Structure formats: structure tokens, C-alpha cells
Structure 1
Amino acid sequence: MSTAQTGEPIHVTSKEHLDELVAEHDVVLVDFYADWCGPCKMLEPTVEEIAAETDVAVLKVDIDELQDLARDAGVRSVPTLQFYAGGEEAKRVIGVQDKDDLLDVIADLS
């Protein structure tokens, strides 16, 4: 089981950890980011609000820490947001996104 509390983004530590979290939750938002990425920093408060305000599992993947995972996921730029529903990737968006647009995607998947 994940040790993170509900309402906070969960920092992914490995491919196995990501797979386990995606399998555990109905709808998952994965934020692929980098500490040096300006747009990622702009998106961070939005991602944190979604984690706090919805039942969606919000996962954070540091692409520098987990380069193989990011490459295998086909992430070529950050921020990249992947949405999973029922364990399968359902949607992907790249770049800074409006919170309402992200909530619409979540609503469509829920």
C-alpha cells in the first residue's frame, strides 16, 4: 500500500511503485516533471490542488531521478501529464494546463 496520505501528491520511487499505484486507484494523474523546469513549477500548485480537492491519485515522477521510467513512458518534454483509468493510460497532455481543463479530463474518466 502507498504510505502517502490522501490529498497529497505521491512521489514515485520506481517503475514498480508506479505500476502498483496505478493498479490500486481507479483514476490516476501522473505528473512527469523536473526541478529545473519553469513550466513544471508553474503547474505544481494546480497539481497539488487537484490532489487535495479530488479522489484522484496524483503521482509525481522526477524525470531526472527516474530517466528510464520517463523514457519508457515516451515522455519527451516536461511537464507531461498522463491520466490512467482502470489501470490503462487514457489521456496525455503536455505543457502547463488550466486546472478546469484537467478537472474536465478527470470528470470524463471518473
Structure 2
Amino acid sequence: MSESTAERSEPIHVEDADHLDELVAANDIVLVDYYADWCGPCKMLEPTVEEIAAETDAVVLKVDIDALQELAQDRGIRSVPTLEFYANGEQAERLIGVQDKADLVSIIDDLS
């Protein structure tokens, strides 16, 4: 298995704003999961996000809002979990709260 395949099959933890921008720009379909370790709904959503990373063409990014407070603030993240979808570098959708996996996969399919 090549490194890029391994990387794409699981969520990538974002290190800073530049890292986020680079990953969004470099990939066709991106799902960004803004989360916090203390957030119960975030923990509920985590297996779904991991499955989406493994099963779809979308690149899944995880942003810890506590570690990256300035980034979350700059992006207008006011509650977690917040999910953002990007297609070809442009934000296409934003959802707040725990979401059904089928709904998330449907959005990815529509963007593909």
C-alpha cells in the first residue's frame, strides 16, 4: 500500500491554517470535521467520519478546535461538531451537529 493510499483512508489531523488550506487546495473533495475532545456528540460522530475516510473518495480532515482556537475562530466555528465540505477548493456545504452517515455520503456523491 502506498503512503498516499494509507493517508487517504483515514482522517488527517490538521496542524495549522496553512496545512488546512494546502489540503483543501490539493484535493477534489474534502470533509473537514471540527471537533473537541470534551464534546460527546463529536465522539459519537467519529466512527462515521472514519468510515467516510475509508469508504469514499473524500479526504477527511480533523481540526481540534481547542488546539487550533484561532483557526476555528477565523472559520466562524461556533459549535462542535461542525462539518465542512469542499469541492475543488471551494466550500460547498456546512453542517452542525451529529449527522447520519448516509446524508454525509450523499453530499460527497453530489460533489463528486
TM-score scaled by length of structure 1: 0.96
Kindly provide the CA deviation profile for residues 33-87 of structure 1, in whole angstroms up to 9, marking residues without a partner as x: 0000000000000000000001110000000000010011110000000000010
The match for 1:72 is 74
SS of equivalent residue, structure 1 residue 81 = strand
The match for 1:104 is 106
- 1:12-91 pair list within 5 angstroms: 12-91=14-93
Aligned residues: CA RMSD: 1.3
> Quick one: which amino acid aligns to residue 5 of structure 1?
E
Q: How many residues align?
A: 109
Q: Which runs of 5+ in 2 are unaligned?
A: none
Q: Which runs of 5+ in 1 are unaligned?
A: none
SS of equivalent residue, structure 2 residue 48 = helix
User: In percent, how many aligned pairs have the same letter?
Assistant: 72
SS of equivalent residue, structure 2 residue 108 = helix
SS of equivalent residue, structure 1 residue 61 = strand
Q: Which has the higher helix share?
A: 2
> Quick one: which amino acid aligns to residue 48 of structure 1?
E
Query: What CA distance in whole angstroms lies between the structure 2 residues aligned with 1:21 and 1:31?
Result: 13
